[in-house]
Amino acid sequence: MNPMVVNAFPVGIVHVINSGNVESEVDLRMEPSVGLEFDSSDEARDFYGLYAMRVGFKIRTGQLYRSRRDGSVSSRRFVCSKEGFQLNSRTGCPAFIRVQRRDSGKWVIDQIQKDHNHELGLEGENNSPVLQQKPPVVPKSLVEVLRRPKVKLLGQIENGGSSPSGIINFKRQKRGGDGRQPLPEPYTGLEFNTANEAYEYYQSYAESVGFRVRIGQLFRSKNDGSITSRRFVCSKEGFQHPSRVGCGAFMRIKKKDSESWMVDRLNKDHNHDLGEQMVYENKFSTASKKFIEEETNGMVSMDLGEMNTGKLIKRSRESKIGTDWYPVLLEYFQTRQAEDTGFFYSVEVDNGSCRSVFWADGRSRYSCSQFGDVVILDTSYRKSNYVVPFATFVGVNHHKQPVLLGSALIANESKECFTWLFQTWFKAMSSCRPKSVIADQDMAIQQAITVVFPGAHHRFSSWQIRAKERENLRSMPIEFRYEYEKCIYESQTTVEFNTTWNSLVNKYNLKGNAWLQQMYDKRESWVPLYLRGKFFAGIPIGETIESFFGTQVNGQTPLREFIPRYEQGLEQRREDERKEDFNSFNLQSFSQTKEAIEEQCRRLYTFTIFKIFQDELLQSYSYIGIKTYEEGTICRYLVRRSGNENDKHAVTFSAVNLSVNCSCQMFEFEGVLCRHVLKVFKLLNIRELPSQYILPRWLRNAEYRILCGAESGVSSQELKAFMIWSLRETACKYVECGTTSVEKYKLAYEIMREGGKKLY
């Protein structure tokens, strides 16, 4: 049973200890009323919480008001947990109490509303407090008892000591009924054996109060790079995400000479409503993962999770998907499968329990046969607290629009989970292997990609890199940030990058910085210089990729709205694609040069891709090409911008098979020839693009790319997959159009029957 101190007296009633040292009785079933006085706002909250438990509702900490004179808290509201409408479970309940601090230091209820707009639970149901018997004699006054350190007081009770007067034992309602004891509130001077103990303590404290914790800034020793202090902050600290409100609550710990850690700075005031007492169910949160990675230099896999006295313990595989999601999704899948013969879904099962879920409709599977060379695994639900771990596989179509290649709910962020997910996607997409994958940096994802997609280039998500940079480099001076950005984005050769990086590390004495060393080791997965030679369909480096569903479907979407929003968002994206298809087939772009090479691309490319090519062609007129080398059929040119000596690139051309490459590597990265190559083609009087430099994926008729791909060296397995999905999609269109009327049905049937005669 958990002790809680309640000390509430109406104004005008003096709490007296009589001459026999016997404390007067306090009615703990007292109703809240205007004028009720408390020693602190915490006592007022505790009192209101007990009253709420008895009546049948839960409370949250509401708005606070500060003094204009000194900024101290002058009044607070404690509200029903169903106040407001921010969550679907809330009903805008008006019930609350407000306590105001008087000049005497006491807190008094000055406003109250007892009426609720929802049903209340039964009195005493499951959570009524149990009053322990008080000893008849109290050796010290109640004031002295209340001033004792709470840790000591809790320890005395745990060891079997009797509860002092005014102490109420009640059991906090938690899932699983683990009966854990509530921790004392943090205070300056509180000590811990390890930093992990401090983090676990603050997280547990946050659970009981009603907020979540993130790992904040850390400070390292200039001598050996070891961590000397660190901050744990409210999850709503800062403004980097819409859900954050700049909350100032935090706890900072500092390492002592004795290797223990002590709280040296603390702010317990929040600038937002606090939630109900929260239950983490021992889930391995993103903050926990980050903390462990920092403590172990990032070498811990995600399936090492639970912390116990500073040690890592192998945890059982858990699921972050609510059990109520599975029946709803399975019913949806079965309905879709009856409508769409190409619909695919799979559920991971572990010891009889459902875990991760993957699904893709026929259109997504067909799109993968066209645009599955570059795949984005969007797990941005992890940016904030989420209701459901919803992730998407996204590609880029021939209009440079995002196209859905599959959807998933991810049970947890372990290597096994991501391996299952990638293998399932690979199976659903007829074993089409992507050339490149854009996904988060987590070790579990890296390992899974290596196992399932060997040879694919893994590029780290930009949002995650930016978050890590803000976290690890925030204490660095502005000069460092400038030099760091210049090194990352302006280096033209690997030698230049390595030299600049090492110079930067030495200049700012960062050799011991574990994060920078880790990022340097993985430079081929995030530095633009190393990514330019890999095909990414022109997806910009260093920019955050927009979510396929935008704000319609994300990690905060509740279950009852998930499927309607999902269908609506998907249909909207596909309607946008149909509009672009129509425009590309029925409208013509304007030529600006009248050159044969421009006319060739105008006929072949979609609007979007032609505009990119046309811009490169127009820009080529501003460049000068100079032949610098020639031997046999090989020529090399230096192409530079007129009037700008720094804007120059080397272009190598072979006359044998009309092959060409440029040091800017635009074609390798985007699949469209650059202005430098086009300048050389003009010098060589090459009037049409060689076929190998017109990628089928960018053509207007990309859905028939199989006709182009049959001679381009694709494997027989890929060729068969392309044919299956191309024919299936065409057949589906005949079915859709042919069922709109009897006349169209007859026409469609006749066309298919006559066509079938030629096949047999």
Quick: pLDDT tens for 298-352. 333 333 333 333 333 333 356 778 888 999 999 999 999 888 888 999 999 887 7
Top-confidence residue, 121 or 35:
35
Residue 118 lies in a domain: no
Indicate whether 382 pLDDT > 90. Answer: no
* Position 54 in a domain: yes
CA distance 287 to 214: 5
- Residue reference for tokens 């999770």: 305
The per-residue pLDDT for 370 is 86
Give pLDDT, residue 400: 94
pLDDT at 374 over 90: yes
Choose the weakest-confidence range: 232-246, 452-466, 494-508, 544-558.
Answer: 232-246
Q: Do 440 and 334 sit in the same domain of this protein?
A: yes
Token reading at 154? 């809790």
Specify the pLDDT at position 750: 87
Question: Mean pLDDT, to the nearest integer, of 71-97?
Answer: 81
Establish if 453 belongs to a structural domain: yes
Average pLDDT, the chain: 79
Q: Is the pLDDT of residue 462 over 70?
A: yes
3-state secondary structure of 59: strand
The CA distance from 219 to 227, in Å, is 6
Q: Could you tell me which residue, 170 or 504, shows the higher pLDDT?
A: 504
| Span 197-230, pLDDT tens digits | 888 889 888 888 888 898 888 787 767 667 888 8
pLDDT value of position 722: 66
Please check the confidence at residue 625 and state whether its pLDDT lies above 90: yes
Confidence of residue 8 (pLDDT cuts 50, 70, 90): very low
Q: Which pLDDT belongs to residue 619?
A: 95
Q: Which among 42, 45, 5, 40 has a CA at the least distance from the CA of 26?
A: 5
DSSP for 13-41, please give it. Answer: ----B-TT-PBPP--TTPPP-TTEEESSH
pLDDT of 125 strictly over 70: no
Paired tokens of 582:
């129509």
Domain annotation covers residue 235: yes
Domain span at residue 105 reads 36-113
Secondary structure element (H or E) that encloses residue 422, with its range: helix 415-428
End-to-end CA, the chain = 80
How many domains is the chain built from?
6
Residue 358 reports pLDDT greater than 60? yes
Judgement on whether residues 335 and 395 belong to the same structural domain of the protein: yes
Q: Residue 497 has what pLDDT?
A: 95
Q: Do 242 and 205 have their domain in common?
A: yes
Q: How far is CA 566 from CA 129, 248, 390, in A?
A: 44, 36, 11
Q: Do residues 389 and 400 share a domain?
A: yes
Please give the average per-residue pLDDT across 411-438, as a whole number.
91
Same domain? 456 vs 481: no
Asked if residue 544 has pLDDT above 50, the reply is yes
What percent of the chain stands above pLDDT 70?
78
- Decide the pairing of beta strands 2-5 and 167-170: antiparallel
- Within 10 angstroms of residue 376's Cβ, the number of other Cβ atoms is 25
Contact 612, 649 (CB under 8 A): no
Q: Which of 220, 245, 274 is at the close of a domain? A: 274
Tell me the two tokens of residue 611. 């505009």
What is the average pLDDT across 712-739?
Answer: 70
CA-to-CA distance for 109 and 79, rounded, in angstroms? 13
DSSP-derived letter for residue 555 is: T
Residue 691, SS3 per DSSP:
helix
Does residue 529 surpass a pLDDT of 80? yes
Give the pLDDT mean for 469-496.
90
In the predicted structure, residue 244 carries a pLDDT above the cut 50:
yes
Is the pLDDT confidence value at 572 over 60?
yes
| Alpha carbon distance 394, 569 (integer Å) | 14
Residues 340 and 382 in one domain: yes
Domain boundary among 438, 460, 482: 460
Which residues are within 8 A (CB) of 11 and not within 5 positions of it... i.e. 6 or more apart? 35, 36, 37, 108
Under 8 Å between Cβ of 651 and 662: yes
- The arithmetic mean of pLDDT across residues 545-555, rounded, is 86
DSSP assignment string, 341-404 = TT-EEEEEEETTEEEEEEEE-HHHHHHHHHHTTEEEEE-GGGGS--SS-EEEEEEE-TTS-EEE
Same-domain pairing of 210 and 252: yes
The pLDDT of 14-35, averaged and rounded, is: 52
pLDDT of residue 445: 94
The answer to whether residue 498 sits within a structural domain is yes
pLDDT on residue 19: 35
Distance CA(404)–CA(723), nearest Å, equals: 20
Least confident of 63-77, 368-382, 553-567: 63-77
Domain with residue 350: its CATH number is 3.30.420
Give the mean model confidence (pLDDT) for residues 643-651.
Answer: 88
Round to whole Å and give the CA distance between 736 and 160: 76
Longest dimension (CA), the chain: 115
107, 44 contact by CB (below 8 A): yes
Give the per-residue pLDDT at 299: 34
Residue 169 within a domain: no
Two tokens, residue 499 = 């030299």
Whether residue 30 contacts residue 38, with contact meaning beta carbons closer than 8 Å, is answered with: no
Whole-model pTM?
Answer: 0.59
In degrees, rounded to 5, the angle at the alpha carbon of residue 583 between the alpha carbons of residues 706 and 712 is 20
Sheet holding 36-38, edge to edge: 8-10, 36-38, 107-113, 96-101, 73-80, 59-66
Q: How far apart are CA 519 and CA 539, in angstroms?
A: 21
User: Residue type at 541?
Assistant: I
Residue 384 phi, psi (nearest 5) = -145, 180
pLDDT score of 721: 63
Same-domain status, 516 and 430? no
434 shares a domain with 367: yes
- The C-alpha atoms of residue 159 and residue 148 are separated, in whole angstroms, by 16
What does the DSSP 8-state code read for residue 108? E
Q: Which residues contact 670 (CB under 8 A, 6 or more apart)?
A: 535, 536, 537, 538, 612
User: Which residues, other chains included, contact 241 with Cβ-Cβ below 8 Å and sequence gap of 6+?
Assistant: 383, 384
In terms of DSSP bridges, do strands 353-360 and 402-409 run parallel, antiparallel, or are they unpaired?
Answer: antiparallel
- 439 & 386 share domain: yes
- 144 in any annotated domain: no
Neighbours of 33 (CB within 10 A): 12
With a cut of 90, say whether residue 401 has pLDDT above it: yes
Q: Looking at 83, 113, 143, which one is the last position of a domain?
A: 113
pLDDT at 696 over 80: yes
| 491 shares a domain with 435 | no
3-class DSSP state for residue 129? coil
Mind listing the pLDDT tens digit for each residue in 501-515? 999 999 999 988 889
Residue 17 inside a domain? The answer is: no
Residue (of 43, 80, 44, 34) closest to 60 by Cα position: 80
Percent of the chain with pLDDT over 90: 37
Statement to judge: residues 452 and 474 lie in one domain: no
Q: Is the pLDDT of residue 162 over 70?
A: no
- Rounded (5°) CA angle 732-737-738: 95
**CA distance linking residue 604 with residue 712, whole number of Å:** 17
Taking alpha carbons only, the member of 273, 243, 268, 276 closest to residue 385 is 243
Burial environment of residue 119 by CB neighbours within 10 A (0 to 12, 13 to 18, 19 or more): exposed
Which of 257-261, 364-368, 706-710 is most confident?
A: 364-368
Least trusted range by pLDDT, from 149-158, 201-210, 459-468, 694-703: 149-158
User: Would you give the DSSP letter of residue 605?
Assistant: B
pLDDT reported for residue 674: 96
Q: Across residues 409-426, what is the average pLDDT?
A: 93
Burial class (CB in 10 A: 0-12, 13-18, 19+), 631: exposed
Grade residue 594 by pLDDT with cuts at 50, 70 and 90. confident
How many residues does this entry show for the chain? 760
What integer pLDDT is reported at residue 704 of this predicted model? 57
Across 560-587, average pLDDT? 90
More confident residue, 301 or 605: 605
- 143, HSE (Cβ side, Cα atoms, 13 Å): 5
